[in-house]
Structure 1
């Protein structure tokens, strides 16, 4: 196990110091049920390397850890014929809602449009024109 931290909750789960309901594990990742169970089957996928969030990932880290998202997602869907969809959620940084500062991906099964899970989104399209869109796009492009 690469570079685990002593005081990180998810590192403790990876080391087996804190119990979890593991659904998948290999040398690269551990996937376990989120204790909150936003919906039944809500699973966290955690790299077995302490990375705070996606801002810390190298391309090699992404290739190594993110390749399991489809495999775990498919197993979740197959686990219950009532599952109609799946939200894949990543919170990067406290301002984005990240609570545990160890990279993790939420796989949240969706059973219906009325399953009490609400994802608020705001539409600011009316505040943008072609010039503003191009300005934002170029600011991002210039950082590759």
Structure 2
């Protein structure tokens, strides 16, 4: 079965495009959190952020940055929420970045699940150490 985002990139599926550049394509989400919610996808079929070649990072995130500003400016939004899901909660297995317009008091809370605290500094340090270890060799 063909990837729906690949079909949008190639034009086989229609979408409300807001940008079409070598670095990627941006279009309105069909199920927006708020009207003006944009998805930015790379042209190539990549599943997660880890699959995006290092050489493509600047151009791809440059497009995401410009879309973030354009959503604020074009919609008069107070700000934006920019997010990527990798595998978990990734509704389409093609890398995509959400650019969601925000306004003060808009009620968005779903992206910020219940907060917790570390039991103590030792536990926090343990998590920091494990993440640092994951960076080794990258």
**2: distance between equivalents of 1:122 and 1:24?**
35
2:52 match: 57
* Pairs within 5 Å for 1:59-138: 59-81=54-76, 83-93=77-87, 96-119=88-111, 120-126=113-119, 128-129=121-122, 131-138=125-132
**2: distance between equivalents of 1:121 and 1:40?**
25
Indicate which of 13, 16, 22 corresponds to 2:11: 16
Q: Describe the superposition over 1:36-90 as per-residue Cα deviations: whole angstroms up to 9, x where unpaired.
A: 1111110000111111111212211212322211111111111122x11211010
1:142 aligns with 2:123: no
Partner secondary structure for residue 99 of structure 2? strand
Q: Name the Cα RMSD after superposition.
A: 2.0
Runs of 4+ in 1 over 6 A off after TM superposition: none
Whether the 8 Å CA contact 2:23–2:63 is kept in 1: the answer is no
Structure 1 unaligned residues grouped into runs of 5+: 1-5
Displacement, 1:128?
5.0
1:41 match: 36
**2: distance between equivalents of 1:53 and 1:138?**
20
Whether the 8 Å CA contact 1:38–1:117 is kept in 2: the answer is no
Structure 2 unaligned residues grouped into runs of 5+: none
Give the TM-score normalised by structure 2. Answer: 0.86
1:3 match: none
**1: distance between equivalents of 2:60 and 2:95?**
10
Give the TM-score normalised by structure 1. Answer: 0.83
